[in-house]
Structure 1
């Protein structure tokens, strides 16, 4: 190697190493919490209206109800309209609102499921997204496998941004955070093949959300 080139290389190497050594003093602890004092996106006051607008944009189907009794009534019509006869729901709280015209299937019949009913962790208004986690009684598979995913949530679960949902998730579970948290934004879709949009490619083809007070 040419002596001048070697000297330049050695000098550059030494300069980089010195920078790395000097940087150690700033990296002895955990990464500092991000500061959200400056918001890039607008902060709307009406969370439900904002969520509704964004949820519709990503092809979600939203039904706002006054009570769980009203949800049950809507579910009866929905089951007839969609022709979903095999419903999977293992959430104790939700099983009480499943209408009589629904046929609840067991875990052993899960491969034949046509629709699932679950709860969620939070509703993210700014992106129209739904956060679910493995800590919920329904687990992981019920959110992604059935062709139709029906979610029941309360308006109290509405938050503005994703970071708000993450913060509330930490507050809710403390040191026992779920092993998985997933953000769902509309039904599953892809346009990888010849730029043709296909719904339900990697998950539910329809995402239906019931929000009650």
Structure 2
């Protein structure tokens, strides 16, 4: 019998009976009751406080805002998927702009170096946002792999305003993470940042220097 099995056996054979399952009180991590407008304001305030940039646009005209932002930031090579509606709409709107659209859904070995050395930005959809922490949550797919949001110096995330929820707990509960969580779930709260021993923040050391959240209403 291994040490692990021995310990588990002793726990199961406790003289005072089996250990009861403690009651769980999740009230501290849910039940905020914010309106959609309050959620939007809180999300924007928190993600802006850590150097995230927020752009608002209508659902019908968001690609116009995207095109203008890319031109302002001098993006010439944009990585994006093909299958998701966000990627499809972006591709249609950017065809005549001179921006090179780079397929993200390729075998990683065929374009790993390209991602690190010559891609200006990565565009992704999002599954939603979290108002309490100013976070985005993404479930990467073969069409939109996680490197698309973690490697290029600029990450552009498209978020629907109605998909912002109060807390992380609300997201996990409402979307059934316990039963259908992917192997990769990304929580993004601003551009990449780290701190030295003096707690001085530095941005873009291990990932994107910039994060632009394009919120569609």
- Bin for the TM-score computed over the shorter chain: 0.7 to 0.9
Q: Structure 1, residues 1-51: CA drift from partner, whole Å, max 9, x if none? A: xxxxxxxxxxxxxxxx89x82576126xxx678432345896543211111
Corresponding residue for residue 21 of structure 1: 14
Corresponding residue for residue 103 of structure 1: 100
SS at match of 1:97: helix
Shift of 1:60: 0.8
Corresponding residue for residue 61 of structure 1: 53
Corresponding residue for residue 7 of structure 1: none
SS at match of 1:74: helix
- Distance in 2, matches of 1:202 and 1:185, equals 14
Matches within 5 A, 1:129-140: 129-135=135-141, 137-140=143-146
Corresponding residue for residue 4 of structure 2: none
Residue 125 (structure 2) pairs with residue 119 (structure 1): yes
Residue 176 (structure 2) pairs with residue 190 (structure 1): no
Whether the 8 Å CA contact 1:135–1:179 is kept in 2: the answer is no
Shift of 1:118: 0.3
Distance 1:72 1:195, change over 3 A: same
- Distance in 2, matches of 1:120 and 1:24, equals 47
When normalised by structure 1's length, the TM-score is: 0.77
Whether the 8 Å CA contact 2:58–2:216 is kept in 1: the answer is yes
Q: Structure 1, residues 39-86: CA drift from partner, whole Å, max 9, x if none? A: 58965432111111112111111111112x422111222122111101
Corresponding residue for residue 42 of structure 2: 50
Matches within 5 A, 1:135-150: 135=141, 137-150=143-156
Residue 203 (structure 2) pairs with residue 199 (structure 1): yes
SS at match of 1:167: helix
Greater RCO, CA 8 A, separation 6+: 2
Whether the 8 Å CA contact 2:29–2:169 is kept in 1: the answer is no
Q: Structure 1, residues 164-202: CA drift from partner, whole Å, max 9, x if none? A: 11223326xx73320121211111111216544321011
Q: Structure 1, residues 109-138: CA drift from partner, whole Å, max 9, x if none? A: 434211010011220001111111234731
Whether the 8 Å CA contact 1:71–1:97 is kept in 2: the answer is no
Distance 1:205 1:34, change over 3 A: farther
Report how many residues are paired: 191
Corresponding residue for residue 77 of structure 1: 68
Corresponding residue for residue 176 of structure 1: 180
Distance 1:50 1:195, change over 3 A: closer
